Amino acid sequence: MGCNFSSQSKLQVPEIRASRSITPASQKSEDPYSHIRLLLLGSAESGKTTVLEQVRLLYKQHFTESEYFHRRAFIYHNIFKSIKALCRAMRMSDIQFADPINMGRAQSIIADEHGHYGLFSKDLAEKIKHIWNDKSMQKLYARRSQFNLNDSASYFLNNIDKINMVDYKPSERDLIMAYVPTCGVQNVIFTACNQSFQLFDIGGQKIDRRKWALQYEGIDAIFFCIAISEYDQVMSEDMVTNRLDDALNLLQSISEDPAFATTPIYLFLNEIDVFCEKLSVIPLSKYKPDFKGGDQDDAIDFMENLACEALGKRDRSLYRVYRCIAIDTQMMAELLSTVFKDIAKRKK
């Protein structure tokens, strides 16, 4: 039995009007109608910002030129960070480059301490392409579940010629695939189901979580993202704490917070595709001994049960659980439509 997560239906997303205005949590809205206020939470790299980007694209919240510039910079950074991670993984593996010249190229990539947030030089772009296209590197990439690599690595590396152009402007797909860490508080205002929504996204790293409480007042619903594929990974902040455990503890603290006692929580179990891919290489039972085995669906059921346990004694009517792939726009269109309808129904 395989993972049941693909969305096949052709969806018609209605035209939605959007606003560029921002309403801080500490101020009352000056709009003639009140917003349904949504708080988007989760650990760093859980996919929550991808959810926000999907909302912006699906509900016609257009990007400004400065936002395109910002995301373009991070796309270059994503590419360099990915190839550097692959070079380091190659060095630690039992695989040798098919082309020996790529060994020297990889060493220069590893030694390069620049962040690379702009157009690559011709020499650097050629190095990246040679390393990525090496047959042995592709063998290593097939093992990517064994080390931490951005999910969009192959997407951007395969498109480096298009991206490394002076006039490059990210496509909608590029915007979804790019990893851009959240800084501070972002929010969008949009209309769905004849209701006005305001969705807040706050950084998920530990240093950012102190800002969460500043947005608690007047929240009508919470979106919480967990990247279930991270069951074998540790947090970059301390290189010790298991990422999944951190996410579950975070979910529990939100569920138990008196401020959210009656606030509905919409839980997104993200990266189920990566999770299923990992299972055959990295057994879930190695990190979660309570998992007694089974197929991929059993493993996802187990992860959902862990999340439900973290929600504690919260009434079942106050939470919904969704399995998703946040970068899949078709899937997210259907999921978000369902969620917004449910929220709008609660507000009537």
Q: Give pLDDT, residue 287.
A: 97
- Homologous superfamily of 66-176 in CATH? GI Alpha 1, domain 2-like (1.10.400.10)
Residue numbers belonging to the annotated binding site for Mg(2+)? 182
Residue with tokens 């106050």: 318
Q: How far apart are CA 6 and CA 244, in angstroms?
A: 23
Q: What pLDDT sits at residue 187?
A: 87
Q: Where in the chain is the domain with CATH 3.40.50.300?
A: 18-44+182-347
In contact, 246 and 43? CB cutoff 8 Å:
yes
Fold of 18-44+182-347: Rossmann fold (3.40.50)
Q: Do 201 and 211 form a contact (C-beta atoms < 8 A)?
A: no
Beta bridge partners of 187: 200
What's the pLDDT score for residue 6? 37
**pLDDT tens for each residue of 201-224:** 887 565 555 666 556 678 999 999
pLDDT given at position 186:
85
> Which residue spans of the chain are classified as CATH 1.10.400.10?
66-176
**Distance between CA atoms of 330 and 63, rounded to whole angstroms?**
20
Dihedral, 244, 147, 269, 59 alpha carbons, nearest 10: 130
Question: What residues of the chain score a pLDDT lower than 70?
Answer: 1-33, 204-216
Instruction: Measure the CA–CA gap between 225 and 218, rounded to whole angstroms.
Output: 20
Do the Cβ atoms of 48 and 266 come closer than 8 Å? no
pLDDT at site 24: 44
Q: Which residues of 84-102 are buried (b: 16+ CB within 10 A; e: fewer)?
A: bbbbebbeeeeeebeeeeb
Sign, CA dihedral 2-336-269-89, equals: positive
Binding site listing for GTP: 42-49, 176-182, 201-205, 270-273, 326
Which residues are part of a known binding site? Answer: 42-49, 176-182, 201-205, 270-273, 326
Closest CA to 157 of 53, 84, 68: 84
